[in-house]
Structures are given as structure tokens and as C-alpha cells.
Amino acid sequence: MTDDSGKAGHSLWGGRFSAKPADLMRRINASIDVDRRLAGEDLAGSRAHAAMLAATGVIGDVDEQAIQAGLGLIETEITAGTFTFREDLEDIHMNVEARLTELIGAAAGRLHTARSRNDQVALDFRLWVREACGRAASQLRDLQRSLLRRAEETADVLMPGFTHLQPAQPVTFGHHLMAYVEMFGRDAARFDDARARMNECPLGAAALAGTSFPIDRAATARALGFDRPTANSLDSVSSRDFALEALSAGAICATHLSRLAEEIVIWMTPGFGFISLSDAFTTGSSIMPQKRNPDAAELIRAKVGRILGSLVNLTVVMKGLPLAYGKDMQEDKAPTFEAFDALELSVAAMTGMIDDLTPNRAAMAAAAGSGFSTATDLADWLVRRLGLPFRQAHHVTGRAVARAEALGCDLSALSLVELQALEAGIAADVYDVLTPAASVASRTSYGGTAPSQVRAQIARWKDSLA
Ligand code: ARG
């Protein structure tokens, strides 16, 4: 393109250039397709910067008013979808500045005083990630509310608890759902923590060394909702660990989502039949008319690849980068946007599925008693009632399980005579502990699966999420 003075080269940085960049150079250099998403943040940063420049007397009030009016117009154009994003102007910062120049003329050239694209992009991106962390945390709390509601309905619905995906001890469905309430609670807190740590304003670091103009960094920080300005100009333009931290929180959260998604897939198979999902969250097969597939759960299970991939992507971009800014860092945005888009959709779809699912109480209760799941209760009874050392009780119980297995029956179906053949002291009240309901009701230790404990945790979370 041709700049305003009629010379070949770039209108905003082409002063020392006499020829146009190669087409390939332009293509590899341009980021506007990605960073146009930062338009709102860029305008907010420019408005705060211009106001501060005027307040400190670095630019005149008349120029500032023209700049604010022009930025307002640009905002209107962007919202209306009439703004033309130009690849030859590289990025969002130069697209906005070029349009400002068209709209208000020479005064536009004063906006970039005491500023560089390096602190500008550091600011814009930080504002975006800060917002994304806030959104993720609040979305996760909505998911927790949905889980809490379902847990309250099912605090005493028996189901098998598993280890190694083998029946281990009976629990309740509500207790199982509450495990995820805890996980998503920590995920939300991780986003809060990341947000709090990143809440320092890099604007005013300029290219890398600060500026000789008498700027007021505290004022721009305040205007943009930051706790304080960043304290080192090199760090301000070089660091992207705020995004890495947000992506780490995202990757951990996506891992949790994938586990719940996997369980939904398992619970939905006819072999388990623990839950069903309605037409709203399942799909059919184009060839097998009987199918009802949990595609949303499977996709959530898979999204962790994208989200963790983004963390690895940006970590590798930042690895070994010398201070201060390097164009490598322009590659920070695409993976971050992609990860948060995927995470947002995943959390929303998971919330939808939790609201949608119907627990099959009968199937869960039947499975809760399978696999000799009350064996630990028998061992505990032998310790409590007969004073056996736990190891010995474990051994006796193991033999009872073997006997039941040989007879093809459940532990609770073994006769007293059978049991007494293994341990003479066993009495009839042993049967009180051999049902899944009794097993669950007895686990009243703090955080245990007894419905009373589960309800106490539900009440605590309801309070904290109110
Ligand atoms: N588009 C660039 C980015 O996203 C903005 C900063 C460019 N700075 C520079 N010195 N070329 O990183």
C-alpha cells in the first residue's frame, strides 16, 4: 500500500522503508484475523490512555476529545459490523489507528504517544484473558448449582462405588455427583486465583523500557479495573504467564470435565443403564435405528485435547524467548481463544446434560449390591463385634466371599450356618450390615457417603454459592 505521504511502504511504520513487504511477509505477519477479537479491549485501552495523556498534559484537551469521539465512532462501526478489517494493516492496533486517522486526521497521531504496540497488545490480551477467567469461574459455579440440585434429589439413591471400575463399596448417586462439585469448585477457584494474580496493568511500559513522558500509570490501571500497574517494564511486555496460568486452570478443568463425560458415557450403556439422557442431548445413528448415542459427552471427553494442546502450544512458544518482546508472542492468542471457546462450550454442554439426565434408581440400586460390595462391612462387623484384628477379619471375609461365589449367591444370602463355619462368633445381627442401604447409612464419617453427610455437604455448598 501507499502511505499518507505518498511513499511506498507501511502507513504506520513505513518511514524508513522504500518498498512494500512481500506478499508472503504480509501474510505471515498479519494477525488481524485472530486479534480482531480484541477490538473491544483495544478501544478501552486507548480510551484510558488518551484520557490519562490529557490529564497529565502530554496531549491537549481538544485532541483528546477528538480521539475519544473517533474511538466512539469506531466502536459503533465494529458493533454494527461495518468496520473494515484490513490485512495490510497487520493487526487490530493498526487497524484502529488507521481508521482513527481517517476519521479525525492529525490528532489521531497523538494517541500513540508514550505507548507501543508491545504494551498495547500485552494490555489487550490481559484484559481478554482476565474476562475469560471470570466467565469460566461463573460458568463453573452454574454447573455446580446444577450438580447440587441433582445431588439433593439423589442423596440416598444407592449406586456402586468403584475402584478400578470394579464394584468396591456402595455409595449414593448424590455423593458421587458431589465429588464433582468439589472438583469444579477448585477449578473455579483456580480461575479466580489466576485472575487476581494477573490483575496488574502493563500499559505504560511502552516498547520495553518505559517512557520519558510524565504518564500516570496508576491512573490507567485504575481506569481499566486493575489493582495496580506492573512494576517492571520489561516483564510487562515479555510475560504471558498470565495466559499460561489461565490455560493451566483450563486444562485441569477440562480433565475433570472429561472424567464426568466418560462416566456419563459408561452410565448410559445398556450394560450399566444407570442414567438416561433425553433426545435433547443424544443423537441417533444413520444406519442403526435403535441407537441413542451420548455424543455431547464424548465431545466433552475429547475437548481436553484441544485445551491441554493450547497450554502446550503457548508454553513452547514462550520457552527460551529472550526478553523483551518477540513477534513469536503474536502466536499467543489463537490457542488461548481456541481453548477458552472449547472450555466454555464444554461447561455449558455439561451443565445441560446434568440438568437433562434421568437417574435409573432401580438399576443403580441393583448394581449397588453386586460384586460383594458389602464385604468391607462384614470385615468391619467382625472387628467391631468380635474384636478381631482387621487383617484377620479381612481374611475371614475373603473366605465368605469365596463361599458365596461358589454358591452363586450374595454375601447377605449366606446362611448363618455357612458364616459360622468360617467364624464361630458370627451372630444373626451381622445381616444388618450386609445390605447396601445399611452400608451407606453407616458411613457417617466427615465427607462420607451416608445421606446425612451428603446432605450436610450440599447445605454447605448451597450457602457458599448463594
Ligand atoms: N500484533 C502484535 C502481537 O500480537 C502486536 C505487537 C507488535 N509489536 C511489534 N513490535 N511488532 O503481538
Contacts 24+ apart (CB under 8 A), 343-346: 343/136, 343/250, 343/253, 343/254, 343/303, 343/307, 344/135, 344/136, 344/139, 345/303, 346/254, 346/257, 346/299, 346/300, 346/303
The verdict on whether 11 is a catalytic residue reads no
Q: For residue 125, give the ligand 1 atom closest to its CA.
A: 4
Q: What is the pTM of this model?
A: 0.93
Task: Kindly report the length of the chain.
Answer: 466
| Ligand 1 in reach of 35 Cβ (< 6 A) | yes
- Average pLDDT across each block of 10 residues of the chain; the chain has 466 residues. List them in order: 48 81 92 98 98 98 98 98 96 98 98 98 98 98 98 98 94 98 98 98 98 98 98 98 98 98 97 95 84 93 98 98 98 98 98 98 94 92 96 96 94 94 95 93 97 98 96
Options 138, 278, 285, 452, the catalytic residue:
285
- Ligand 1 midpoint to CA 216 (Å): 23
Number of CB atoms found within 10 A of residue 350's CB: 25
- Ligand 1 midpoint to CA 332 (Å): 11
Give the integer Cα–Cα distance in Å for 58 and 114: 9
| Ligand 1 in reach of 325 Cβ (< 6 A) | yes
Give the integer Cα–Cα distance in Å for 100 and 406: 84
For atom 4 of ligand 1, the residue with the nearest CA is 330
- Ligand 1 midpoint to CA 381 (Å): 69
Q: Are 50 and 219 in contact (CB under 8 A)?
A: no
- Ligand 1 midpoint to CA 121 (Å): 7
Q: What pLDDT, on the 0 to 100 scale, is given for residue 8?
A: 53
Distance (Å) of CA 124 to CA 203, 294, 333, 342, 413: 9, 38, 11, 21, 68
User: Which of 25, 46, 121, 129 maximizes ligand 1 atoms within 8 Å of its Cβ, making it the mutation to test the pocket?
Assistant: 121
Q: What pLDDT, on the 0 to 100 scale, is given for residue 9?
A: 60
Options 164, 212, 286, 445, the catalytic residue:
164
The verdict on whether 346 is a catalytic residue reads no
How many alpha carbons fall within 13 Å on the CB side of residue 187? 27
Which are the contacts of 417, defined by CB distance < 8 A and separation ≥ 6?
none
